[in-house]
A and B are shown apart, each in its own frame.
Chain A
Amino acid sequence: MELANLYQSINLIIPEIVLSIALIVLVIADLIFHTNKKIIPFIAGTGILVTAIFVINQFNYIGFAFSTATHTARSFGMLAVDSFGVFFKLIVIVSSFIIVLLSLASDEIQKTTDRIGEYYALIYGMILGMFFMITATDLILIYLSLELLSLSSYVLAGFTKLRDRNSEASLKYLLYGAVSSGLMLFGISLVYGLTGSTNLYIINTLIQNPHINLFTLSFATILIFAGIGYKISSAPFHFWTPDVYEGAPITITAFLSVASKAAGFALLIRFVKTVFVSYETNEGFWSLIEVFDWQSILVVISILTMTLGNFSALWQNNLKRMLAYSSIAHAGYMLLGLVVLSNQGLIAILIYFMIYLLMNLGAFLVVMLIANKINSEEIDDYNGLGFTSPLLSVSLAIFLISLTGLPPTAGFIGKLYLFIALVDAKMIAVAIIALLNSVVSLYYYVRVLKHMYLVKATASTPSIIPSTSNAILLLVLVVPVLIFGVYFQPLVEFAKDCIVILGI
């Protein structure tokens, strides 16, 4: 029986095993080919593709791995494999693959040839951490995966060591990260003390007991939220974001802003759904255990997050930093999908993530290609680029318009579904605050367009023509943003297939 369980569990974590093997291969390859490291990125890319195949194989496959529970008839595991998890793993895998391609195109990364093996190994560490975060249903695993992700990304944030700002980003990331994981750990210890278990499902059944100490439980969950909120950079744990995003190598910034955030969201959603939801109504609304008012707290956090993000972005002159604030704001929008506590909201989040992946990575890709040439990310240095570098500028314009959420780009669809979920849950006031935020965001996104197009080009304006491979990569990101803006049925269908969160 035990052996059967183990065998089945190993079946369920094949993607993670493949990743670990690839990680080891990478490290060994780094030792073997230490004179010619050109092969390393290809190993990394191949490893990701192979993992992707195994992840896709998991689709529609449901089950718990490493069951531990003994005191109830049903057994729950450390990991849950379900379509929701597969969705977020795919988001992570796709963005990792794009990041590998981005790294090949980045001057910043290519300069560090001698350490390129470590770079990809650490990225693999991040991916592994995220995979476990996405599937974890046990507080121990949640903590460990969070730390695996964090430790790898601390190092990567300061990886190039080229400029002071690199190591400064790294240090700030580390200090904030360590503090929030410390808070989270203390919260976990309190939850364990209250319930005597670290399994989310068992905690769910135990806290339905009316004699539970509500104050301690609320306090503990707020502490746990500190750890997760730090990963998704939601207010008030967002302070690290702008500094780290600006200071880190741009490939890592892009990775943090998409994949790491996706993993954080997957964890948050799974945590809320499995711990605090007692049942689902027929209309797909989630009924909360009346521990304390999670919903209002989430509303406040999400409004705070998007408002702080948007208003701070208004004053930024560095495009990378501006995109950091914009990614904070987007985390706020996505939290709205959780706030409504319904399947409709979950679908909205999933749709938003698919689109966010394309447009955010795209925007960072353009910023990187421009920075490769002019060695600057200041918006003032973009003056007149619209006339000298048409492909890059048009793409950036499309990505920014999509981030604003205007039709006919995909960003509009993301916002649309969020608003539908909000209106469906009768939260009109929240919807209006969110759309006022969109208007604010319009101002700073359009400011970039203004510098590119409305300021006339001068003789010193550089003309930047990306290499063929980079242009193809760019088009691979731009074209879907436009197509999904007009025809988004496939996105919706896919998202609908992916809302199964393994529950009791």
Chain B
Amino acid sequence: MLSIPIEYYLILSAFMFIVGVTGVLIRRNAIVVFMCIELMLNAANLSLVAFSSYHGNPVGQIFVFFVMTVAAAEATVGLAIIIAIFRNKLTVNVDEINIFKW
């Protein structure tokens, strides 16, 4: 049976990761930054699953379930905090959230 080589998965995963990191660095909207962080997590998930199938052991897949749970929790907390700050400042642009110097 023809299977997709692991390199393909890894390249895609690396690409997603780089997109995520770049997004975090250059985007200024807190929600978009947050989405980019999710992208980073998903890149890691993809490579974990790929490696899991490559090594033929299930640890990576189990890990992915945990990561998905954590990501959901993180999104909940994150959005709550973003809403709290939006109520105070009426903006979600990280450049304008600057009582402290960065």
A–B direct contact (CB < 8 Å): yes
Given contacts A178-B34, A198-B59, contact A170 B84 (CB under 8 A): yes
Asked if A158 and B57 sit within 8 Å, CB to CB, the answer is no
Flag if B48 contacts A178 (CB, 8 Å): no
List residues 24-83 of chain B with CB under 8 A from any CB of chain A.
24, 30, 33-34, 37, 40-41, 43-45, 47-48, 50-52, 54-55, 57, 59-60, 62-63, 66-67, 70, 73-74, 77-78, 80-82
Asked whether A167 is an interface residue with its Cβ less than 8 Å from the other chain, the reply is yes
Is the CB–CB distance between A151 and B77 below 8 Å? yes
Q: Does A314 contact B (CB under 8 A)?
A: no
Query: What residues of B have a CB within 8 angstroms of the CB of A147 in the complex?
Result: 70, 73-74
Please state if B24 and A189 are interface contacts (CB–CB under 8 Å). no
Majority SS of interface residues in chain B? Answer: helix
With beta carbons under 8 angstroms apart, the residue of A139, A186, A197, A243 that contacts B47 is: A186
A164 B99 Cβ-Cβ under 8 A: yes
The answer to whether the Cβ of B8 comes within 8 Å of any Cβ in the partner chain is no
CB distance from B75 to the nearest CB of A (A): 9
Contact A186 B43 (CB under 8 A): yes
A161 with B84: CB separation less than 8 A: yes
A465 to B16, CA, bound (A): 58
Are A196 and B44 neighbours in the complex by a CB distance under 8 Å? no
Residue pair B84, A183 in contact (C-beta under 8 Å)? no
- Give the residue of B40, B70, B77, B102 whose beta carbon is less than 8 angstroms from that of A186: B40
The yes or no answer to B88 lying at the interface (CB within 8 A) is yes
Docked complex Cα distance between A247 and B98 (Å) = 12
Task: Assess the B84–A167 pair: CB atoms within 8 A.
Answer: yes
Residues of A within 8 A of B73 (CB): 147, 151
In the bound complex, residues from chain A placing their C-beta under 8 Å from that of B34 are 175, 178
CB-defined contacts of A168 to chain B, threshold 8 Å:
85, 97-100
Chain B residue at smallest Cβ distance from A244: B100
Q: How far is the CA of A139 from the CA of B99 in the complex (A)?
A: 37
| Chain B residue with the shortest CB-CB distance to A155 | B77
Contacting pair A185 B77 (CB below 8 A): no
Give CA–CA (A246, B30) in the complex, Å: 21
A44 to B45, CA, bound (A): 37
Is B12 in contact with chain A by the CB < 8 A criterion? no
CB pair A196 B57 closer than 8 Å: yes
State the Cβ distance, B12 to closest chain A Cβ, in Å: 13
B77 engages A164 (CB within 8 Å): no
Minimum C-beta distance from A206 to chain B (A): 11
Spell out A's residues near B (CB within 8 Å).
Answer: 139-140, 143-144, 147, 151, 154-155, 158, 161, 164-165, 167-172, 174-175, 178-179, 182-183, 185-186, 188-190, 192-193, 196-198, 239, 242-243, 246-247
Can you list 19 A-B contacts (CB < 8 A)? A140-B59, A143-B63, A144-B66, A165-B100, A167-B81, A171-B81, A178-B74, A179-B40, A182-B44, A185-B67, A186-B43, A186-B47, A188-B63, A189-B45, A192-B60, A193-B51, A197-B59, A198-B59, A239-B102
Q: Which residues of B contact A (CB under 8 A)?
A: 10, 13, 17, 20-21, 24, 30, 33-34, 37, 40-41, 43-45, 47-48, 50-52, 54-55, 57, 59-60, 62-63, 66-67, 70, 73-74, 77-78, 80-82, 84-85, 88-89, 94, 97-100, 102
A-B contact sample (20 more), CB < 8 A, given A140-B62, A179-B24 = A143-B63, A144-B66, A154-B78, A155-B80, A155-B81, A167-B81, A171-B30, A174-B78, A174-B81, A179-B37, A186-B47, A189-B45, A189-B51, A192-B60, A193-B47, A193-B51, A198-B63, A239-B102, A242-B100, A243-B102
